[in-house]
Structures are given as C-alpha cells and as structure tokens.
Chains A and B, each alone.
Chain A
Amino acid sequence: MGNSASHSPLLSSDRNAAPRQMVSASMRTASGPTHYGRALYLAINVAILIFLLAPIAIVVVFALNPTPFIQFPPVGVSLRWFEKFFASRDFMHALGFSLQIALLTTVSATVLGASAALALARGNLPGTRLIVATMLSPLMLPAILTGLALFQTYVLLDVGRPTWGLVAGHTLVTLPYVVRTTLAVLHNFDLRLEEAARNLGASPLRTFFEVTLPLIKPGVLAGAIFAFIVSFDQFPVSLFLVSPGNETLPVTLFNYLKFDLDGTIGAASVVSIVLAFVVVVGLDRTVGLRSYVKL
C-alpha cells in the first residue's frame, strides 16, 4: 500500500495486474463487434431477469389492485386482499400448517438425506449407482403419481391420511435435493482431514461432528433450504395426502380459486414469496449461508 513500485505493472507484486491491464487495453481498443457482444450479453441477461421476475410482478400487482379481477393497468393500490387473507381462519390455519409440515420435512429430509449421502459416498456399498438413481427417482416421477401411490398405500395400510403420512410424502420428494447437494460436497472431500483427526485420537463420533459435518455443511444446508421451499410449495403430493381440516396452503389456494378467483390468491402468493425469502435471509444471518454455500 502506498508503494510506488506497485504502480508499475512489471514491478507489482500482483502478478495478474499486467495481463489484466493488457486485456482491458485491448478491450478499449476493440471496435464494434466486442461492444455489440457486450450489449447482446446484457440484453439476454435483462430478458432472462424479466422472464423470471415478471410473474412475481404480476402477482404483486394483482394482490394490490382493489378490483375483484385481474386488471391491467391497475386502478389503484389497496390492501383489502391482504386483509381478507389474514382475516381468514382457513388461510391462516393452512399457512401455519404448511409451515409446520415444511419444518418437519426439512428436519427429516436433511437427517435422512445427509446420512444416506454419507453412506453412499463412504460405505463402499454394492450397487451404489443404482441406489443413488433410486433415491433421485422421485424427481423423475410425476409428483401427482407419487401422491396417488402414497395415498393408496395408506389406504391399504388402513391408517387414513395421517399428518406423519403427509410429512413422509414431502420427505420423499425433498430427499433427492439433500442427497444430491450433500453428495456434491462429499465428492471433493479430502479424506486425509478425517484421518488426521483419527490419528490425533478423536473418536469416530467426534471426528464426524468436528471435522466431517462442518465440511459438508454447505451441501447439507443448501439441501435443507431446497427441502423447505419444495415442501412449503408442494401441491401435487399434498393434494391426495391432506386430511379434512388439515389442508396445506397450496391445496387451500387451489380449492379457493375454483370458486373465487380474486386478489386473495395474489396476496397469499406474495406472503409465500416473502416467507421463502425470509427463510433464506434468516438462514444467511443465523448460520452465515454466504460463507458456506460455494457449490
């Protein structure tokens, strides 16, 4: 800092500085094609962003528009649909129930998925590829069929439609996310770190909690976040597994819009988006997601 030598690219300790300046110089001297390329790149990115965010923007407009139907341009700003949403016992019960199911699913999918990934990566199991493919298969099967199959299984077992059955169904469809993200970090795991801990006298349990778990945490956390969001928004599996009086928010919304397609749906969607956002930000603040997630 403040060293005059650092101003000279050749004497600089930053060995990348010279090539970087040369590249930027060549870019400055580059004529039209590079400029057009950058503009095209920017335009494509903006188009993708618009494509991703436009539905959310429309939902927000619908939720804030006071008319009982989708109208563009909106005629004003009103919170009447939010009031209706928060005043509805059915919606509030469904929201609370969805959150509870999503949290339970996150815990079960994370514990099972991370354990399974560890066993698959370390266990020298016969037919590992087949087991991995089987564990990821719920992603390939239409979720509505998974829901129907589980429903029939519960009927055959004569257990009705229990809440644990719904959690089990959600766990089934969220498990692949945790397995996949945990396997990804385990793929680059340096086993010598565990060996070093064991050589220094750490027990297998201590090695797991003090060496392995902190190192695979990014994958486990990423999987847990996926599990929460997928469970909270899960519709096809829940459709068959919810029991009367205990419907999740997506199922309640579906039933509602069959009869009333008003801004309450938009308000509920905005609340869902905000909740998902709060979960991600909350995890970032509490467990430092940004420093972990480098997948």
Chain B
Amino acid sequence: MMKALGSSRLSRRRFLTASASLGISTIAAPHVARADDPTLRITGWGGKWGEVMKAEIGPAFESEFKCKLQTDSAFPYLPKLQASSRSAPIYDVLHTNSNEQWAAAEMGLVEPKIDAKLVPNLTDVYPYAISDKIVGVSIFTSAIGLGLRTDKGYGSVSSWKELWDPKYNGVRGGYVIPVNSLGQAFLMMCGTLFGKGQTDLDAAYAALEKLKPIKIVDFTGAMEKMLLSGEVGLCVIHDSGIYRYDGQNQPIDFVAPSEGVLSLEQVLTITPGSKMKELANAYVNYMLRPEIQKRLAETVWYSPANSKVKLDAKYDAKLLTTPEKVSKLIQVDWKWYNERKDEIDQRVNRIFRA
C-alpha cells in the first residue's frame, strides 16, 4: 500500500497539503468572496423562477443599484426569520406566499404595508395586490382552480362542485391542508360553496368528508405530476402548474370555475429591522417594473400584479391581465385562517385519517 503511494505522483505530503488547502478554501471562500458593496438579503423560489432570477434579473439589479443580492432559496424562511434578531433580521425582503406573510406580520417580523412614496410602481398595481387581504404587496398571483385530464372522456367541467361528482372517485386530487396553502385556500372555498362563506368551517368540513376518496399531496408541484401520469383525473391546482406544459402536447387543461378562482399571491414585505431599507424599497419597486414583470410572468406563468404590463398574446390569453379577469380572483382571509390554524389542522387530519 505504502509502496503504491510512494511510487505514484501523489505523495502523502502532497495529498495532505491538497486536502488542507481544500478545507481552508471551503471555509474561507464566503469571506474571500464578500465584496464591499452593500448586500440586500432576500428570499426567493427555486425552479424556473430561481433560474431567471439568478441569470438575468438579479445581476441586472446588482449592476443598477451597485449592491449584492443574496438570495436564500432554502426553506423554511419563517422559522429562520423568527430565530434571528428583530434588530438585525436575517432577511431585508421576505418573498413568500400570503399565508406566511400574515403569520410573519402578526409576529411583527415584517412591515404590514409598503410605502407608495418609496415604491412608485405601487400606484400601477391591481387593487388585489395591496388589498386588506395582503400584507406588503403581491407582485404576482396564480389562479387556483381545477386541473383536468382531457383524454379520459370526463366531459367539460365548469364548477368547483363537479369535484364532488362520484365519477371522479379514485382519480380526485387535493392537497394536505395543514402544510399546503393551496389546500388551505381550497378549504375556505368549500365554506363558500356549501355554506355561508369562507369562514363557515362546519360546512367546509362536511364538504371535505364527502370529497373522499381523494388523493392528497403535500408539495404543490406534485399535483401536476399526478395529473400528467394519469393518476389523477380532476384536481385542485394552480394555473401555472398546468400552463407551464403549454406546447408540450400534454392531455391536461386548467379550468377556471364559474364561482371564481382563488388567488395564490407572491408577496414581498420588508423587515422592520432591516439596515437596507432604501435598497429594499428599490428592490420591491424593481420587481414591479413592467419589463421585469413581463419577463418573469412569461417564464413561470404567473399573472403580473402591475396593470401596465403587456404580455405576448399566448400569455395574455391565459393569465389574469385585465381588470375583468382579475375581478374573478377570490382572496383568502389569511389573518382569520391563521388564528384558527391549529384547530383546523386537527379537524382536517381527523377527516382524512378516517
């Protein structure tokens, strides 16, 4: 063994030196790479969103504002923000879904509103993006509706209530409500469909009981795969999860039910303790710019919040790009929901465990 090592070019000394160098460079790399430019710490999605942010939109922001953009795309964001100091939060801008933003706002971890004087593009957003159901500003939204297999002879679907049709027993799909915001929004929709409104939980629970058997998934992206594989024939899903397969000749389609579609907002907020407030506001404003909105909308099939955005015809036809289309959005009262989340989780777990 020793002979073999000795005869080769890789001596023990060289090996140890190389290993030590590798170790030191691994540990020291972030410090060496740290630039003098101010750093804006944000959160962001992975997938296509992350790709285009990393390749184009992030570097363009850095170049224009002479700063470094440090994006954390490793979940979970909220516990990390909770664990960090209020006066020196781990993020300057929090990008996440509306339900988490409300939870963060309730804990005082993010500022409830964005100042329109500091973010001029706020004047151009659709009303839903800064409504009383939103903390911060919604920069994009998806529409939660129904996903359908078009090759199984199910016929046309136009109402949420068709999800309860016994012909979909065995091929019906939904989400694990305690961990998925699409599932939570759907629960509120059940109250609207079968009761007095979103907050009619008894009606929602009764409706969920009748929805069984149903295949449920926890990750949002898993539902489109179930639909693509044919394991599910009709399911709750967001439009982006269907439209992203546009042009790939897949037998799936998105249905916007007549009762309306639920909004799944992408929300930005600023942390109160941020030392980079000016840059944080500039980032929010930048993300609302029409050209940035167009690029991202046409990459990930999210509907832009800025009403001035003109999308290419293919995207314009399907996304929510006019006041009429946007008026079909139903926003969830996440503040109300979060206050009852534990009780709701226990109840729905009992329903689906039985």
User: A residues bordering B, Cβ < 8 Å?
Assistant: 67-71, 90, 97, 100-101, 103-104, 107, 148, 151-152, 155, 158, 162-164, 167, 239-240, 242-247, 251, 254-262, 286-288
Q: State in angstroms the CA–CA spacing of A107 and B24 once bound together.
A: 13
Chain B hits for A259, CB < 8 A = 45-49, 220-221
Residue of A244, A260, A262 near B70 (CB, 8 A) is A244
User: Contacts A257-B219, A258-B221, A260-B221 known; A151 to B70 CB distance under 8 Å?
Assistant: no
Chain A hits for B74, CB < 8 A = 239, 242, 244, 247, 251, 254-255
The reply to whether B225 and A261 form a contact with Cβ atoms under 8 Å apart is yes
Consensus secondary structure, chain B interface: helix
Q: Would you mind naming 11 contact pairs between A and B with Cβ atoms under 8 Å apart?
A: A100-B23, A151-B83, A163-B26, A164-B27, A240-B79, A243-B30, A244-B71, A245-B71, A246-B29, A259-B49, A261-B221
Q: State in angstroms the CA–CA spacing of A265 and B83 once bound together.
A: 30
Q: State in angstroms the CA–CA spacing of A240 and B90 once bound together.
A: 12
Chain A hits for B70, CB < 8 A = 244-245
Residues from 31 to 82 in B contacting A, C-beta threshold 8 Å: 41, 45-50, 70-76, 79-80
Distance from A188 Cβ to chain B, minimum over Cβ atoms (Å): 25
Which among A151, A245, A257 has the greatest number of chain B C-beta atoms within 10 A? A245
Q: State in angstroms the CA–CA spacing of A257 and B218 once bound together.
A: 11
Chain B hits for A67, CB < 8 A = 228-229
Chain A hits for B17, CB < 8 A = none
Q: Could you list 8 further interchain pairs (A-B, Cβ under 8 angstroms) beyond the known A69-B229, A258-B46, A262-B225?
A: A162-B30, A239-B74, A240-B79, A245-B71, A258-B219, A258-B221, A259-B49, A287-B1
> B222: CB under 8 A from chain A?
yes
Distance from A61 Cβ to chain B, minimum over Cβ atoms (Å): 14
Closest residue of A by beta carbon distance from B300: A259
> B351: CB under 8 A from chain A?
no
Closest residue of B by beta carbon distance from A152: B83
Distance from B300 Cβ to chain A, minimum over Cβ atoms (Å): 9
> B322: CB under 8 A from chain A?
no
User: Contacts A239-B74, A244-B70, A256-B47 known; A69 to B225 CB distance under 8 Å?
Assistant: yes
The reply to whether A103 and B73 form a contact with Cβ atoms under 8 Å apart is no
Q: State in angstroms the CA–CA spacing of A107 and B220 once bound together.
A: 39
User: B residues bordering A, Cβ < 8 Å?
Assistant: 1, 19, 22-23, 26-27, 29-30, 41, 45-50, 70-76, 79-80, 83-85, 88, 90, 219-222, 225-226, 228-229
Chain A hits for B83, CB < 8 A = 148, 151-152, 155, 240
Chain B hits for A243, CB < 8 A = 30, 72
The reply to whether B27 and A71 form a contact with Cβ atoms under 8 Å apart is no
The reply to whether B221 and A158 form a contact with Cβ atoms under 8 Å apart is no
The reply to whether B221 and A257 form a contact with Cβ atoms under 8 Å apart is yes
Chain B hits for A255, CB < 8 A = 46, 73-75
Q: State in angstroms the CA–CA spacing of A255 and B72 once bound together.
A: 11
Chain A hits for B23, CB < 8 A = 100, 103-104, 107
Distance from A85 Cβ to chain B, minimum over Cβ atoms (Å): 15
Q: State in angstroms the CA–CA spacing of A158 and B88 once bound together.
A: 9
Distance from B182 Cβ to chain A, minimum over Cβ atoms (Å): 12
Chain A hits for B79, CB < 8 A = 148, 240
Chain A hits for B226, CB < 8 A = 69
The reply to whether B85 and A155 form a contact with Cβ atoms under 8 Å apart is yes
The reply to whether A163 and B219 form a contact with Cβ atoms under 8 Å apart is no
The reply to whether A69 and B228 form a contact with Cβ atoms under 8 Å apart is yes
Chain A hits for B73, CB < 8 A = 244, 247, 255
Q: State in angstroms the CA–CA spacing of A90 and B48 once bound together.
A: 12
Q: State in angstroms the CA–CA spacing of A242 and B76 once bound together.
A: 12
Closest residue of B by beta carbon distance from A153: B83
Closest residue of A by beta carbon distance from B91: A244
Q: State in angstroms the CA–CA spacing of A258 and B71 once bound together.
A: 17
